Structure 1
Amino acid sequence: MLLACQNISKAFGTKEVLKDINFHVNEKEKIAIVGINGSGKTTLLKIIMGEESADSGQVVIAKDTTIGYLSQHQDISFDNTIYGEMLATKQYILDLEANIRRLEQDMKHAEGEELEKILETYNRLSSKYDRDNGYSYESEITGVLKGLGFGPEDYDRHINTLSGGQKMRIALGRLLLTRPDIIILDEPTNHLDMPSISWLESFLSSYPGSVIVVSHDRYFIDRIATQIVEIDNKKATVYHGNYTYFASKRAEIRANMMKAYLNQQQEIKHQEAVITKLKQFNREKSIKRAESREKMLDKIEVLDKPTEVASEMRLTLEPSVESGNDVLTVTHLAKSFGTNCLFQDLDFDIKRGEKVALIGGNGTGKTTILKMVNHLVPKDAGTIALGSRVHIGYYDQEHQVLSLHKTIFEEISDAYPDLTNTKIRNVLAAFLFTGDDVFKKIEDLSGGERGRVSLAKLMLSPANFLILDEPTNHLDIQSKGILEDAIRSYTGTVFVVSHDRYFINRIATRILELKDEQLYSFIGNYDYYESHKDQVYEAAAPKQTDASADTSTAPSATPSGKDDYKKQKEEQARLRKKENDIKKTEQKIEETEAAIAQIDEEFLNPEYATNSAKLGELSKKREELEETLSALYETWETLLA
C-alpha cells in the first residue's frame, strides 16, 4: 500500500464537505475520484498533498513514496524553452551520464586497487543509468511532447509566449517525465484535444506507478480506472472497476438505498402515528407504551436520502413540427481566415432523426461550420441548404441570447409562459440550479452558469434541428446523463461539436471527422469510430500507380465526404444484411434440428412399431431434413467467414 486516507473529515465554517473518507492506493492502481461539482474532490486532493489540513483523520504515505501533483490552477512561470524545460526533468540522468564519462576517463590512468574501486562505481552507475532509461531519455521526452501536441518546430519556443492551455500541457508533460510513484491529476483533460487525451489514456494505463485522477471525462475514466471513489453527500464509496461498472453498480446501489430510505421513512411515520394515537388514549398503560416506542424511535439511525436525480427531472424533448427527410445539405464548402485555409470542397448531408457528431483537432474549423450553418460566419464558397420545415435550435457558448436584467427563473418562464413553476424548477435543477439559485440575476452569473441557463432554455424549445457546440462543458456527470437521455429519446435531428467522447458514444448515430482539411464519415458511435478510423484513413489515402512517380504530381484518390459517406452506407448495409442472413440461417438450423428431434420421438411411438409405411415415410423425411441441415451449416460457416 502506497497511500491511505483514513477517516478524513473537512468543513469550511458550518458547511461540512468531507466526512470519514476512507480509501487506499496500492501499487500500479489507477483510481478516479468522481462526484458532483462542489462535492469536495479537489479539496481531498489538496489534503492528500498537504495544501489543506483535515479537521480530523490522516493521510498515511508509505516511506520513500514520491508523488507528482497537477492542480487545475497550476502556477506556471517557467523561464525556459519547451524542450529545455522537459530536459530539466532528466537532469539527474545528465549528471549520471557525466559521472560515467568521467569514470571512463579515470580508468585510463588507474590501476590495481584504485582501478577496482572505479570499476565497481562505474558498474553501479551504469546499472542505474540503464534502469532509469538513460539510453532513451531523449526519445521519451520527444514522445511526451508529441503526445501532448508539440512538434519539433515548437521545441525552441519560450514557455512565456504560450497560451494558458499550452502552459498547462507543459506542466503535465514535466510531471509525467519525472515518473513519480503516484501521479495525482485534477481535471487533466481540460486543455487537451482528442488525440492528446487518447495518448494520455495510453500513457497512464501502462504507467508502472499508481494514478489518482479527478475528472468529469467519463470515457477517459472508463479507459484508465481500475477503481472509482465516489464522493457523494460528504461520504466516499469505493467501486472496484472502471466507470461503466461504477455507473451500473451505482444505479443498483442507489435503488436499494432509496428503497431502504423510503421504507424507513414509512416505518418512522407509522410509529409516530401509533405514538400519537397511544397518547390520545391518555391511560397509564398507553402512555407507557408510547414512551417505549419513542425510545425505540430515538435509537434508530436515520438514513440520509440518496442524492439521486428524481425521475420527474428527466428532460423530454419533442419537436412541435416534423421536418422533411433532408435536414441539411452542404456542398463544396470552403473557408479560410487570411492565409489559414481551414477546409475546401467539403460535402456532407444530414437526414431527419440522425444524431451527428462533428469531431477533429483544435483549430480545424468545427465551430466555424456550425456558425456558417447558422449564418453567423460567412462562407467563402459552396452551398448550405436547409430542408423543408426545418427549425433550428442553436447552442453556442459564445452567442448566448439571454436577458441580463432577468433572473434565471424569469428567463425560462418568460420564454415559455405555459410551463408550470414545478416544471421550470425541475428543468433548472437538472442543470444545477436549485433552491434560491433560480432567483439569481443573469448578469451576476459566471460564463459557465450562463451556458447552463442557455442549454436549459434550448432543451425546452420546439426546434426540430438542434445544433450544439460543446453542450456538456460546465455540466457535472449527473447533468450530462440527463442531457444524454434527453437527446437519445429526441425524435428530431442533432448536429453537435463535442470533445466529450462518452457523450458522443451515447448519443451519436454518425460521426464526421474534420482532419487535414478533409471530412471523413463513420456510421456509428465513438467506439465504432475508434475501431474503424485507421481502415477509413487507409482507404482514403492517395494511391500511386507508379512507384517512381513524383508524389507532388500524383493524383489524389481521397474520396470526397459524400463519396466516403455513400461507401460507408453501402458497407453498413452489406454488414446488416449479412447479420440478418446469419440470424435467419441460425433460426432455420434450430427449426430443422427441432423437426429431426420430433421425428425421432415419433419413431418411438408404439403405434408405428408395425407400420412399415409410416416408418419409411419418417425415415425419408428425416434424411431430407439431415441434408437440409448439412446445407444450412455450410451456409452458416460461409457467412461467418
Structure 2
Amino acid sequence: MIKVESLSFSFPQKELYKNISFTLEEAQHCAFIGTSGSGKSTLVDILLDPERYLFEGKLEIDPTCKMGYVSQFSPLDRTKETTVFEYIGDKYIKIQNEIQTICTEMETSSDIEPLLEKYQLALDAFDSIGGEDFESNINKKLNLANLMKLKDVRVSDLSGGEFKLIQVMKEMLGSPDLMIMDEPDVFLDFENLNALKNLINAHKGILLVVTHNRYLLNHCFNKIIHLENTEIQEFDGRYMEYNFSLLQTKMELQELAVAEEEEFKRNEKIINNLRAIATFNADASKGRALKARVSFQARLEARRIKAPFVDIKEPNISFGIDNEIEDMTVINVSNYSVAFDQLLLDNVSFEIKSTDKVAIIGPNGTGKTTLLRDIFNNNHDSIEINADAKVAYLSQIQGEMLKDSNTILEEFIDAGFNTYDEIRSYISHYGFEGEIVNQKIESLSGGEKNILQLAKVSTSKANVLLLDEPTSHLDTYTQIALEKAIEAYKGAILMISHDFYSVVNGMDYVLIINDKTIRKMSMRKFRQMIYASHFDKDYLETEQNKKAVEMKIELALRNTDFELAKGLVDELEELIKLL
C-alpha cells in the first residue's frame, strides 16, 4: 500500500532522516516509536502531503489508497451545537438530507428528468461511502468504546478525551485503507484509553499510530517502526517481543564488547612493550611489528558497536531539594469546591505530607487540573500551603509555563542561569545537544517541550512538585527516566496522570475522584481494581514475574555473568508468551 525507499530529509538546523526505508501493508497495525524530536510527526506529514516537502528518495503510495488522519493537536470547538451522532455522521447526513430535498422537489416539479439524474448521483455518492449502514456502524463504534451515552450529547459539552475518541470514530467510519493517528492517547483517562484500544483492535484497515503509551504499545500492534538517530528499524511482532529482541541483541553485543575489551587491553600491552623496546633498539622489524599492532588496534576501535536502536540514552532527570521538610503536612485542602457550568468538585478534603507521592485519578473533565492550579496559585480559602514549602508546577498546557516566542536560552536565563555554557551543559543532561539552545520553543515537538518543563522544574530545587500529566508526549525512555527521578526524589509530589505505569511505579497512594469528591486508595487496591477491570485473571502476577526476571537479567549483565543472563532470558521469553 505504501513503500518508502531511501528517503532523506533535513531541516536547516537538523537532519531528520538518512536513507530510511519501510513498507506499510494490508492487515498491519503499526506503532511508530522513537525519542522526542526524532521526526515522527514530520514523517507523518510527508506521508499525508508529499508535495509540501523537498525530500530525497522514493515514496510510493497506491493511487487508490484512501487515508484517514487524527492529529495530536485537535482543539475542541466549544461553539459546536451538533450532537455526537451528527458530528460523526456529518458527511452521510449531508448526502441523506440532499436526497430528501431532491425527493421533495420531485413531488412538485414539472421537469423531473434533471432531478432524477441529480437523485441518482446522490444515491451513488451515498452508496460509495457505505451510507446504507452508517447509522448502525456509528452505534457499533459508540458501543465498542462504551460511549453510547454520548450519542445525543452536544460536541461542545465533551471533555477533551471524549472528543479525541469521537474524532477517531469519525475517521474510522469512512473505512480508510490507511488510518494515521499522531499520539491519539494524550490526556485520555484509563477508561477512554481502553476505548481507544478497542477501536484500534477492531479496525480492519492498515494503522500507523505514533504513540509512547506503554499500555497501547503492549496490547494493540503487530508491527513496530522505530525511528532513531536518522535511521529506521522495522520489526514484525508485538512491542513486548521487540523489546525482548533488543535485549537479546544487547546481551550479544555486551558479551562481544567484553571479549573485545580484553583483546584491546592485551594488544595495548603488546604495543607498550614494543614501544619500550624501540626506545633502545632501532631494529626495523620491531618498528614494523609496532606499526602493525597500532593498525590492528585502530581496527578494533573502529569495530566497536555503535547501534542506535540497542542502548538509547535516557535523559538524566533529577529533582534536587534546597531544604527538606521533616515529616509534616505541606498541603492541606479542606472543604474545597469548584464549579464552571456545573459543579465539578464538592467538599473535597485531603492532606499531603512532606514525602508523600500521590496521584490524582479521575475521568477527563472532573476538575483535576483546576484543583492543581489552585494549589499552585495558593489563593483559595480552602487551601493551605506550609510556610516552608517551595512549590514547582508542570502544566499540561505547555504554553502556560513556556513562552513559544522565547528561545531555549531565554527560558533558562529566566530560570536563573547566567551563562550560555552553563545552560548548554545543563540541558545536555536532558538530551538537548549543540546549538539547539538558540531554537525557539515553538519549533520543538510536544515531547521536547515537556522535557524542557521537567528541566525547569528541576532547577527550582522545590520540595513540593505539582505535576499535571508530566508523561504526555514523552517517549518511553524519558518516561522511565522520570519514574526513576520520582523514586529518588526526597520531597512531596502531587501528580495528575492517566499513565497507568507511571502511577503504579512511582506513587505511594492515589486520590480517586468519584461522584464530585475525592477518596484515598492504597496502591495495592488501585492496581487490583485496574487489573480486575481490564486484564485477564493471571495478568498481574505474570507481569510482576516478568519484571522480577528482567531485574535479575540486568544484575547478571552488570556482573558480566552471561551464562546466567542467557538462562534467565529463556525464562523471560516464556513469560512474554503468557502476556
User: Shorter-chain TM-score: what band?
Assistant: 0.5 to 0.7
The corresponding residue for 1:334 is 337
Aligned counterparts of 1:401 and 1:429: Cα–Cα separation in 2? 18
Aligned counterparts of 2:325 and 2:459: Cα–Cα separation in 1? 16
Aligned counterparts of 1:232 and 1:468: Cα–Cα separation in 2? 28
Alignment-mate amino acid for residue 334 of structure 1 = S
1:459-488: CA deviation from partner (whole Å, max 9, x where unpaired): 244433322223234544332322211002
The corresponding residue for 2:361 is 359
Aligned counterparts of 2:533 and 2:95: Cα–Cα separation in 1? 39
Aligned counterparts of 1:370 and 1:76: Cα–Cα separation in 2? 22
State the aligned residue count: 489
**What secondary structure, in the 3-state scheme, does the structure 2 residue paired with 1:42 have?**
helix
**What secondary structure, in the 3-state scheme, does the structure 1 residue paired with 2:523 have?**
coil
Cα pair distance change 1:513/1:442, threshold 3 Å: same
Paired residues for 1:400-549 under 5 Å: 400=401, 407=410, 410=413, 414=417, 427-438=426-437, 452-473=451-472, 475-524=474-523, 527-531=527-531
Contact 2:357/2:494 (<8 A) preserved: yes
**What secondary structure, in the 3-state scheme, does the structure 2 residue paired with 1:211 have?**
strand
1:58-95: CA deviation from partner (whole Å, max 9, x where unpaired): 5475x966543334468999999554453255579979
Cα pair distance change 1:388/1:16, threshold 3 Å: closer
Cα pair distance change 1:297/1:41, threshold 3 Å: same
- Measured after TM superposition, the shift of residue 267 of structure 1 is 7.2
1:589-617: CA deviation from partner (whole Å, max 9, x where unpaired): xxxxxxxxxxxxxxxxxxxxxxxxxxxxx
* 2:192 corresponds to 1:189: no
The corresponding residue for 2:230 is 234
**What secondary structure, in the 3-state scheme, does the structure 2 residue paired with 1:201 have?**
helix
Contact 1:333/1:345 (<8 A) preserved: yes
* TM-score, structure 1 as length reference: 0.60
The corresponding residue for 2:284 is 283
* 2:30 corresponds to 1:34: no
Higher relative contact order (CA 8 A, sep 6+): 2
Paired-residue identity, %:
24
2:8 to 1, 6, 10: 10
Paired residues for 1:125-164 under 5 Å: 136-140=136-140, 143=143, 147=147, 150-154=150-154
Aligned counterparts of 2:426 and 2:227: Cα–Cα separation in 1? 24
Which range moves more in the overlay, 493-502 or 445-454?
445-454
Which range moves more in the overlay, 195-204 or 300-309?
300-309
Cα pair distance change 1:272/1:388, threshold 3 Å: same
**What secondary structure, in the 3-state scheme, does the structure 2 residue paired with 1:323 have?**
coil
Contact 1:166/1:191 (<8 A) preserved: no
The corresponding residue for 2:198 is 202
The corresponding residue for 1:344 is 346
Alignment-mate amino acid for residue 343 of structure 2 = C
Aligned counterparts of 2:323 and 2:137: Cα–Cα separation in 1? 61
Which range moves more in the overlay, 85-94 or 269-278?
269-278
Contact 2:34/2:227 (<8 A) preserved: yes
1:5-57: CA deviation from partner (whole Å, max 9, x where unpaired): 46432122786433454444555432211011332323433454462576235
**What secondary structure, in the 3-state scheme, does the structure 2 residue paired with 1:349 have?**
strand
The corresponding residue for 1:69 is 69
Cα pair distance change 1:207/1:141, threshold 3 Å: closer
Cα pair distance change 1:440/1:212, threshold 3 Å: closer
1:293-328: CA deviation from partner (whole Å, max 9, x where unpaired): 759967966743647565893536467424325444
Alignment-mate amino acid for residue 362 of structure 2 = G
Alignment-mate amino acid for residue 333 of structure 1 = Y
Which range moves more in the overlay, 440-449 or 165-174?
440-449
Alignment-mate amino acid for residue 339 of structure 2 = S
The corresponding residue for 2:372 is 370
- Measured after TM superposition, the shift of residue 364 of structure 1 is 1.9
Aligned counterparts of 1:295 and 1:233: Cα–Cα separation in 2? 29
Aligned counterparts of 2:242 and 2:445: Cα–Cα separation in 1? 31
Alignment-mate amino acid for residue 359 of structure 2 = A
* TM-score, structure 2 as length reference: 0.65
The corresponding residue for 2:316 is 313
Which range moves more in the overlay, 64-73 or 285-294?
285-294
- Measured after TM superposition, the shift of residue 236 of structure 1 is 2.3
Aligned counterparts of 2:249 and 2:290: Cα–Cα separation in 1? 36
Aligned counterparts of 1:28 and 1:200: Cα–Cα separation in 2? 18
Alignment-mate amino acid for residue 504 of structure 1 = V
Cα pair distance change 1:312/1:260, threshold 3 Å: farther
Aligned counterparts of 2:131 and 2:460: Cα–Cα separation in 1? 61
Which range moves more in the overlay, 199-208 or 146-155?
146-155
Alignment-mate amino acid for residue 457 of structure 1 = K
1:143-169: CA deviation from partner (whole Å, max 9, x where unpaired): 4897499541317x7xxx999999866
Aligned counterparts of 1:315 and 1:252: Cα–Cα separation in 2? 30
Aligned counterparts of 1:352 and 1:172: Cα–Cα separation in 2? 42
The corresponding residue for 2:215 is 219
Higher gyration radius (CA):
1
Which range moves more in the overlay, 513-522 or 32-41?
513-522
Contact 2:36/2:475 (<8 A) preserved: yes
Aligned counterparts of 2:472 and 2:442: Cα–Cα separation in 1? 20
1:235-262: CA deviation from partner (whole Å, max 9, x where unpaired): 2234455445545654564565577679
- Measured after TM superposition, the shift of residue 184 of structure 1 is 1.9
The corresponding residue for 2:549 is none
Cα pair distance change 1:251/1:132, threshold 3 Å: farther
**What secondary structure, in the 3-state scheme, does the structure 2 residue paired with 1:32 have?**
strand
- Measured after TM superposition, the shift of residue 205 of structure 1 is 1.8
The corresponding residue for 1:177 is 173
Gap runs ≥5 in structure 2? 101-127, 535-579
Aligned counterparts of 1:197 and 1:376: Cα–Cα separation in 2? 32
* 2:53 corresponds to 1:55: no
Alignment-mate amino acid for residue 334 of structure 2 = T
1:238-290: CA deviation from partner (whole Å, max 9, x where unpaired): 44554455456545645655776797799789689959969996837845984
Alignment-mate amino acid for residue 8 of structure 1 = S
Which range moves more in the overlay, 312-321 or 504-513?
312-321
**What secondary structure, in the 3-state scheme, does the structure 1 residue paired with 2:38 have?**
coil
Aligned counterparts of 1:37 and 1:496: Cα–Cα separation in 2? 22
Contact 2:2/2:60 (<8 A) preserved: yes
Cα RMSD of the aligned pairs, angstroms, is 5.3
Which range moves more in the overlay, 513-522 or 388-397?
388-397
Aligned counterparts of 2:439 and 2:221: Cα–Cα separation in 1? 38
Contact 2:36/2:445 (<8 A) preserved: no
The corresponding residue for 1:323 is 326
Contact 2:31/2:208 (<8 A) preserved: yes
Aligned counterparts of 2:219 and 2:137: Cα–Cα separation in 1? 27
Contact 2:271/2:293 (<8 A) preserved: no
- Measured after TM superposition, the shift of residue 187 of structure 1 is 1.9
Alignment-mate amino acid for residue 498 of structure 1 = S
Aligned counterparts of 1:191 and 1:205: Cα–Cα separation in 2? 20
Aligned counterparts of 1:444 and 1:213: Cα–Cα separation in 2? 22
Aligned counterparts of 1:241 and 1:319: Cα–Cα separation in 2? 47
**What secondary structure, in the 3-state scheme, does the structure 2 residue paired with 1:374 have?**
helix
